[in-house]
Structure 1
Amino acid sequence: MSTLAIITARGGSKRIPRKNIKEFCGKPIIAYSIEAAIGSGIFDEVMVSTDDEEISKIALSYGAKVPFLRSQEQSGDYATTSDVLLEVLDEYEKIGQSFDIGCCIYPTAPFITSDKLKEAGIKFKESDADSLIPVVPFSYPPQRCFVIRENMLSFKYPEYLNTRSQDLEKEYHDAGQFYFFRTKNFKESGNLLLGKVLPMVIDEMEVQDIDNLTDWQIAELKYKLMIDKTRI
């Protein structure tokens, strides 16, 4: 089955300027996603979808392809990941190329490794799932959360007030790193989360949302810990 890696990296970023190519532990953060995808050896093509010439040049220098630039319509603040992926698949079809499986990879996910992508890709191809998504367990049971109402704390789910944490069902959230999907199903649904979704559980020490500079610093610390751990 032909497989395409799509790294989504637009130029605009409000909270962290030039976020997708900002230096992270010694090199542009997008380089980690590109190198992991190429190093996995499971993709027929690794491409970057961007509207930005500088991002395009950096992507090419690390071995990715940029066969076309992203349209202005899909480069704004309200363009969804699904919109971008559908445009990429459509543009490839225009030049006579199609793929059975796609993998959306975020450009600010330095915890992605070639081994993780390879493991996920094999697991997905051997399944009958429509998509595969890395997830991470919540560090504290959401069922025991508080809400503030009229300036006072109260349990959002009082039915779990006396339930032991270990007796509550484990809950997970999107790790925000990559998504494998079958292109035919995705083009029909337009959504990566519909149908049969296969999970890949990731350790929370290898997951970090990067929305501000504090997040960035925490991510660098976690990354260094991850690298040190692999050297032991």
Structure 2
Amino acid sequence: MSSSTGCLAIIPARGGSKGLPDKNIRLLNHKPLIQYSIEAALKSTCITEVIVTTDSPRIAEVARDAGATVPFLRPEELSTDEAKSIDVLEHAVDFCEQQLKQYYPYIMLLQPTSPLRQVQDIEQAFATFLQYEADSLQSVTLSSSHPYLLRELQDEQLVPYLKHQDSHLRRQDLQDVYALNGAIYIMKRDLLCIDHSLVGARNYGYIMPEERSIDIDTDFDLKLAQFMLTTNDRSN
């Protein structure tokens, strides 16, 4: 097996999607959704190889046309609604090592549903990962909903989501909290394949702005991303 000091970027793109059919290849500003992630990964100097794991021959064709490697079609048991991302990643890494004889010490998961993620996000996130000698890193964005402000209904009564909290804090006194935006996940290969985890003891975050953190899950998300892309094109 040939050794590598590089990073393997894995883009998972299952064919089935209940919320937004064929969302991974839906056209966004005249381009298939998955192509945005492929192009950003290919332009990133920190990434050695870009592969797409999919069960769909149609997605595989679109991915290859965009420049990604699609070395296999994902097995059926990893293509269901219940399939876990970690199992999909482990399968892809194992295929690269066993079949392609390629070893990568760093693995990056890039969701195809984050089209506004930029090359600079990928490279800066990876630089942060290396700088802190992290086991893992996830991209986040400032949350617009603080847990302190959340409420739940119990017998039709509105009660605080956080129990035993101070009920008199001002909004400006609340500490910033961050939400995973799904755009970038980085981990050591051994954390994934030996510890079977995406989050290690030394876990760090990379903050992305809200306007680049749209995660496409609904038709509304797609329209919002279209608006952002169109707006950016007009301002350039």
- In which range does the TM-score fall when normalised by the shorter chain? over 0.9
Q: CA distance change for structure 1 residues 148 and 180 in 2, over 3 Å: closer, same or farther?
A: same
1:62-73, aligned counterparts within 5 Å? 62-73=66-77
State the shift of 1:131 in Å: 0.9
For 2:63, the equivalent position in structure 1 comes to: 59
For 1:224, the equivalent position in structure 2 comes to: 230
Query: Structure 1: how far apart are the matches of 2:9 and 2:55?
Result: 17
For 1:116, the equivalent position in structure 2 comes to: 121
TM-score, normalised to structure 1, is: 0.93
Task: Determine helix, strand or coil for the equivalent of 1:37.
Answer: helix
Q: Is the 8 A contact 1:144 1:161 kept in 2?
A: no
Q: 1:215 pairs with 202, 207, 221, which one?
A: 221
C-alpha RMSD of the superposition: 1.6
The worse-fitting range, judged by mean Cα deviation, of 90-99 and 26-35 is 90-99
Q: Is the 8 A contact 1:22 1:28 kept in 2?
A: yes
Q: Is the 8 A contact 1:206 1:223 kept in 2?
A: no
Q: CA distance change for structure 1 residues 193 and 228 in 2, over 3 Å: closer, same or farther?
A: farther
- Supply the AA of the counterpart residue of 1:83: D
Q: Does 1:74 align with 2:81?
A: no
For 2:112, the equivalent position in structure 1 comes to: 107
For 1:166, the equivalent position in structure 2 comes to: 172
Q: 2:95 pairs with 91, 96, 99, which one?
A: 91
State the shift of 1:190 in Å: 1.5
For 1:142, the equivalent position in structure 2 comes to: 147
Q: Is the 8 A contact 2:6 2:46 kept in 1?
A: no
Number of aligned residues: 230
- Supply the AA of the counterpart residue of 1:73: E
For 2:25, the equivalent position in structure 1 comes to: 21
Q: Is the 8 A contact 1:206 1:226 kept in 2?
A: no
For 1:33, the equivalent position in structure 2 comes to: 37
Query: Structure 2: how far apart are the matches of 1:159 and 1:27?
Result: 47
Query: Structure 2: how far apart are the matches of 1:78 and 1:144?
Result: 32
For 2:210, the equivalent position in structure 1 comes to: 204
Q: Is the 8 A contact 2:117 2:213 kept in 1?
A: no
Deviation per CA, 1:54-83: give whole Å up to 9, x if none: 111111111100111111111111111101
Moved over 4 A (4+): 226-229
Identity %: 33
For 1:154, the equivalent position in structure 2 comes to: 159
Gaps of 5+ in 1: none
